[in-house]
Every structure is written in structure tokens, then in C-alpha cells.
Amino acid sequence: MTCCYHKEIVDMRHELHRFPEEGWTEFWTTAYIAKYLRGLGIEVLMGEKVISRENCLGRNPQLVAAGIEAAKAKGVCECLLEEMQELTGCVAVLDTGRPGPTVALRFDIDCVNVLESTDPAHLPAKEGWRSERDGLMHACGHDAHAATGMAICHWVKEHLDQLNGKLKVVFQPAEEGVRGASAVAASGVLDDCDYFLTSHVSLMAKSGEVLSSPINFLSTTKYDVTFTGRPAHAGIEPNAGRNALAAACHAVTQLLGISRHGSGMTRVNIGRLIAGEGRNVIPVNAKLVMEVRGETGDINQYMCEETENIVQGVAKSFGVDYKIEKMGAAVDLVNDAPLVAMLDEVLANTEGVTTVLHDINYGGSEDATILAKRVQSHGGQACYFVMGGTRPAGGHHTASFDFDESTLGTGFDVYIGMVKKLMA
């Protein structure tokens, strides 16, 4: 790649890294992206044009309000915030004006709730681009993804006369917790797309390695389950109470005991249990923060149904009320073979790519699958790939996460190679 684009990506990544924002609060990040793109003369869509408000998952209004205030303090103008309509993320549209396919690329923009390392051996700390917001960190590479997407837009704008069709570049909020893609998909902004491409920089592969067709994406549903009981004095009249904590504990043991499915992988985890008010009070409130996963959509649905049955049954047996809230979702994905073949051809001719791996187990969940499935459901093709980026540092979502930045140039070249082929 040309040096100017590589420097641009690195510089933008470092700027984004300094001010991380968690899902649904990425107001400064969205403004940063939009201002840059519009400065290049690129159309940018925001607000309800790209986000379906009623399909936002796991969106906390208090955190949203705090995010808006943080963006204002950072200098984001009121006009941009009004255009966002309290909804983060944006979509760049680059139309050649000539007949051709509509291609979508997707890059996530949110951070992780992690306190970044101050160790001088940690490069961001050493070089002065560590997170300025304690407890928030780009510890998964989304800063790099966003910067790469912005540089791709720059290249396409400068080479628009050499391409045909239309390019849509999605800067997606709230990937962590698989919360944001559902709202982007439901907006319909990708319903005219013929091709969908996305990727993730990952320490599961070495620098120079690319997983062009990972398999076993797990469908998943994230739930918050609340039980509400009735208080009573634990010594004088415990019989008058309804114990939400006891209900939650029984639910946990039963949920962990859901029979595994014979047709494929299943997962269940209760990550948090918050309950009770005091030592001598029958607990009124209890909350489970949990998830289920399945190898296919049908298997995940089985896990969801079992979860709902258990929660309902436990609530009835303990005489408490319950509520189940869906906080996030992702689906399984099979890459389209013709698009993988094209990607393999591009990878074979991309400097910096040393090894192309196929059919590697992904083993996790990623909400880009919802966008990919949306495009596939309208007759389009989709492909998700993984760029390796090893560095002696912590793993994803850890305080010392970092990766080999040479991967940024390689990833940029891969995307540009695909854009050239798809929009020839």
C-alpha cells in the first residue's frame, strides 16, 4: 500500500484509541468519523436513517445521556448531535453514478470496559496514546477497524472514476455484547446490497495469516432476567415474604443443567447474579446477567426456549414476578463460496499475507453475522474473515491488549483488492 494511507490509518487509530466509548455512547467517535468523511466530500447517513431505534438491544438511557455530555465536553457540535438523534454509528455512501453492484463493508467502533495498562512496556502507554478514560479501552481492535474503514473511504473517493456501482461503509456501534447489528439491519440500509464484507483483527492468528473462511460461528442470545419478590422480616415473619434471591439461585442451577443438544454445540453462562437488600430482609430483587449459544439458529432457539421455561417455572414455584429482557443477539454464518474464492485470489496477491487458512473454528459469536444474513436473505453474498496480528501482549479484552500494526496496511490492501474486483 502507499505510505500515506498506512500513516493515515495508524494516526487515526491512535486518536480513536485515546477516547474510547462503550456501545451506544460512541457520540464523539461517530462525530470524528463523520467530520473526516464529509471533509472528503463523502455522503454520511446518521440517526434513524441507519439505526432502527426500536431494535436497539442493551441500550442504557443513562449511559447514552452521559455519552452525549462527554461528547459535548470533547467539542462535538450540537448540530451533529442533533443529526444523530441520540443514536450512534453512521454509514458512508460512495456512489459512482454508473451501473454496478452495491457493496457493503462493515467496521465496528465501540470499546470494552477495561482499565488500560500503564506499564511502560505497553506501547500505547509508552508512546502517549493510552486511553484517557479510565475503565474504558479499545481492547479488541475496534479503533483499528474504524480507522481502516475511514482510509478505505478516502481511497475509494479518490478512485471513484475507476469503479462502478455503489459502496456503503457501515461504522457500527455496540458490537460488544452483540447489541448493535440488529438495529442496523432493521433500518434497511443494507437491503439493496449485493455483497457484504467484514473482518476482525485477531490474536487467534499470527501476523501474515488470514482466516478466509472461519466456521462454527455460534448463534447467541443475551438476557437480563429479573425476579421481583415481596419483602418481610427474616426473623419475625419470613413466611410473608417471597424470596427473589432463592428463585434466582434455583434458576441458575437449572439453567446450567439444560440438556445439551444432540445436533450441535450449545453453551450457557450466567455471568452475574445481583440480589438482596440486607441480612435480615427476605430478598425482593434479584437479577441474572446471562447468555446462551448454539451452533445453529435452531439450536440456539432451543436454548432460548429452555431458558424461558425454566425462568417461568421457577418464578411460579417461588411466587415471584419475573421479566426477561433480550440484551443482544447474533446468528450463525456460512460464508458464500464464490466470495471466499475471490478473497483467496486477492489474498494470494497481497503483500504481507503469508498464509491463508480455511475452515478454522471461530467458536464464538459476532453480531456482524446478523448483517451478513440480512444481505444473504435478499439474494446477496457475504464473507467474514480474520486478520492475524500477533504481538507479545495480552489477549483480547485485557489491559495490555495490542497487536502488530503492520496488519493495518495488509488489511487495507485486502479490502481495496476486493473493492476493485467487485466494483470493476
Instruction: For residue range 9-47, list pLDDT tens digits in order.
Output: 999 999 999 999 999 999 999 999 999 999 999 999 999
Whose CA is closest to 183, among 354, 318, 48? 48
pLDDT score, position 363: 83
Would you state the torsion angle of the CA atoms of residues 383, 384, 390, 393, taken in this order, to the nearest 10 degrees?
170
- CATH number of this structure's domain 3-214+333-422: 3.40.630.10
Q: pLDDT tens across 91-103, in order?
A: 999 999 999 999 9
From 220, 295, 303, select the one nearest 254 (Cα to Cα): 303
State residue 238's pLDDT score.
Answer: 95
Q: What is the pLDDT of residue 394?
A: 76
pLDDT of residue 4: 72
Q: Cell for 219?
A: 448463534
Q: What is the pLDDT of residue 231?
A: 96
CB atoms within 10 A of CB 232: 17
When pLDDT is averaged across residues 200-204 and rounded to a whole number, the result is 89
- Confidence (pLDDT) at 82: 98
Q: How many CB atoms lie within 10 A of CB 259?
A: 8
- 119-140: average pLDDT: 96
Give the per-residue pLDDT at 205.
87
pLDDT band, residue 395 (cuts 50/70/90): confident
The answer, yes or no, to whether residue 350 has pLDDT greater than 80, is yes
Could you give the CA distance from residue 343 to residue 103 in angstroms, rounded to a whole number?
14
Task: Answer whether residue 3 shows pLDDT above 90.
Answer: no
DSSP string of 76-96, one letter each residue: --HHHHHHHTT---EEEEEE-
**Residue 315 scores a pLDDT above 60:** yes
Identify whether the C-beta of residue 393 lies closer than 8 Å to the C-beta of residue 124.
Answer: no
Give residue-wise pLDDT tens across range 153-196: 999 999 999 999 999 999 999 999 999 999 999 999 999 999 99
- pTM as predicted: 0.94
Q: Is the pLDDT at 2 greater than 60, yes or no?
A: no
Reported as a single tens digit per residue, the pLDDT across 214-223 is: 999 999 999 9
pLDDT at position 218, please?
Answer: 94
Q: Which fold has domain 219-330?
A: Alpha-Beta Plaits (3.30.70)
3-state secondary structure of 365: coil
Would you say residue 334 has pLDDT above 70? yes
At 349, is the pLDDT very low, low, confident or very high (cuts 50, 70, 90)?
very high
In 109-194, the DSSP E strands lie at 166-172
Using one digit for the tens of pLDDT, what is the confidence trace for 223-275? Answer: 999 999 999 999 999 999 999 999 999 999 999 999 999 999 999 999 999 99
| DSSP symbol at 378 | T
Scored b (16 or more CB within 10 A) or e, 25-44 reads bbbbbbbbbbebbeeeebeb
The whole-number average pLDDT for the span 326-339 is 96
- Give the residue among 404, 382, 344 at the shortest CA–CA distance from 201: 404
Q: How far apart are alpha carbons 83 and 75 in whole angstroms?
A: 15
Domain boundaries, the chain: 3-214+333-422, 219-330
3-state secondary structure at position 284: coil
